[in-house]
Amino acid sequence: MGVKVSLGVSLGAVLAIVVVALVGGEVSALQPVFGILVPYAAFAIFLVGFIYRVVDWGRSPVPYRIPTTCGQQKTLPWIKQNKIECPSSTLGVIGRMILEVFAFRSLFRHTKAEMASGNIVYGGSKWIWLGALAFHYSFLIIAVRHLRLFLEPVPFLINGIDLVDGMFQIGAPTLYLTDLLLIGAVSYLLVRRLIVPKMRYISLANDYFPLFLILGIGISGVLMRFFIRVDIVGVKELAMGLATLHPVMPEGIGAIFFVHVALVSTLFAYFPFSKLMHAGGVFLSPGRNLANTNRAKMHVNPWEYPVKIHSYEDYENEFREKMKEAGIPVERE
């Protein structure tokens, strides 16, 4: 697929969801579908799909150690081992996984190849690491913040996050820093795919679609908070109904809310089938979660069976007479 087709398909899909939700949100008979049925179905698909994918990976055998080694392995006592980048113990693996999951260590190692006066030169490039970190952490904070709509009473910690996120008290309701960060970071990740030729070459519709989807979620959320206001008490009533399994559909919530919910539902339902499953996959990736004990310990393939062998001695015993007749030299007469 060319870049125009990929972009068109993914942007078109997101816009189609927006239009369907806008129209559906205006029809009061369809509001329970978009406000209750679709979110429940999407969430169920997310939970079941996520678990299915993880169990499926868990059932795949990884008979041998295949960690990506990025430092000195454990060897002679006077050579210093890099215990995080080439772990040989469970503790080292845990340290490595913490760095990977919370600080995106392998993205930090990202390099960029450039031509400089006729030679290819590799250099560090931290922008993707910074962009990814900004994106993931602002998304996390935004998701946690949303719990204020699903919990009553609202836990102290969530109020605290809300307060810190809006600490500059710009406007009313206050501007959240993570809203700016999320939209900025997703835009960077999208623009990067579009303007770097090598990135554009390897990007497919399933790379663009989640970016457009998350950008749509961010934009619809910001619009709803600052520009096209909705009845927040009604929103919380709906959210509480969903969380207590006694769904109710309050009247008078604006159509923009249904756009936001439809996009979030799409993200939930799409998640287990997409590259977004790296969220679960990072924990199960054998390149990261195995200690480098290739030589220190014996690793036996679990499905290994005794191989039937036919040695040269047996071969000669079997064909000795025929070999002699044909003049082929034999080792034993």
Partner 1 sequence: MYDAWKILVGLAIFLGLFTFAFWMNAGKAAPVPEPKIDTPEIKKMAVKQCVEDKEYMRTTHMQLVNVWRDQALRDGNREFINQKGEKYVISLQNTCLKCHSNKKEFCDACHNYTAIAPYCWDCHIVPPEEPKEEPREESKGNES
Query: Which residues are 111's β-sheet partners?
Result: 124
* The only residue of 171, 180, 196, 330 in contact with partner 1, by rule CB under 8 A: 171
Q: Where are the alpha helices (DSSP H) in 166-254?
A: 177-195, 197-202, 205-222, 232-243
Q: Which is nearer to partner 1, 181 or 238 (CB)?
A: 238
**What part of residues 242-271 is at the interface with partner 1 (CB under 8 A)?**
243-246, 250, 252, 254
Q: What is the DSSP string of 261-282?
A: HHHHHHHHHHGGGSGGGHHHHG
Task: Tell me the C-alpha distance between 72 and 86, whole Å.
Answer: 6
* Stretch in the footprint of partner 1 (CB under 8 A) among 24-32, 33-41, 161-169, 197-205: 161-169
Residue 41 CB, nearest approach to partner 1 (Å): 15
152 binds partner 1 (CB under 8 A): yes
**175 touches partner 1 (CB under 8 A):** no
Residue 83 in contact with partner 1, rule: CB under 8 A: no
Sole residue written with tokens 């809006």: 166
Residue 278 contacts partner 1 per CB under 8 A: no
Residue 224 CB, nearest approach to partner 1 (Å)? 10
| 71 vs 171, beta carbon nearer partner 1 | 171
User: Of 47-55, 127-135, 189-197, 202-210, which segment contacts partner 1 by CB under 8 A?
Assistant: 47-55
Q: Is residue 54 involved in binding partner 1 (CB under 8 A)?
A: yes
Q: Cα 164 vs. chain centroid, distance in angstroms? A: 27
Q: Which stretch binds partner 1 (CB under 8 A): 29-37, 54-62, 71-79, 185-193?
A: 54-62
Nearer to partner 1, 158 or 204 (CB): 158
Q: Is residue 250 within 8 Å of residue 230, measured between CB atoms?
A: no
154 binds partner 1 (CB under 8 A): yes
* 245 exposure class (CB count in 10 Å sphere: 0-12, 13-18, 19+): exposed
Q: Does 136 bind partner 1 (CB under 8 A)?
A: no
Q: Which stretch binds partner 1 (CB under 8 A): 22-30, 52-60, 191-199, 210-218?
A: 52-60
- By CB under 8 A, the count of residues binding partner 1 is 46
C-alpha 123/C-alpha 112 separation (Å) is: 5
Distance (Å, whole) CA 36 – CA 178 = 27
What gap in Å lies between CA 95 and CA 147, rounded to an integer?
A: 30
Tell me the CA distances in angstroms from 50 to 60, 281, 290, one per residue in order. Answer: 16, 10, 22
Secondary structure (DSSP) of 89-130? SHHHHHHHHHHHHHH-HHHHT-EEEEEETTEEEEEE--HHHH
Distance CA 19, CA 40 (A): 21
CB nearer to partner 1: pick between 13 and 151: 151
Stretch of 21-29, 49-57, 122-130, 312-320 lying at the interface with partner 1 (CB under 8 A): 49-57
**Interacting residues toward partner 1 by CB under 8 A:** 46-47, 50-51, 54-55, 58-62, 147-154, 158-159, 162-163, 169, 171-173, 229-233, 236-237, 240-241, 243-246, 250, 252, 254, 280, 283-284
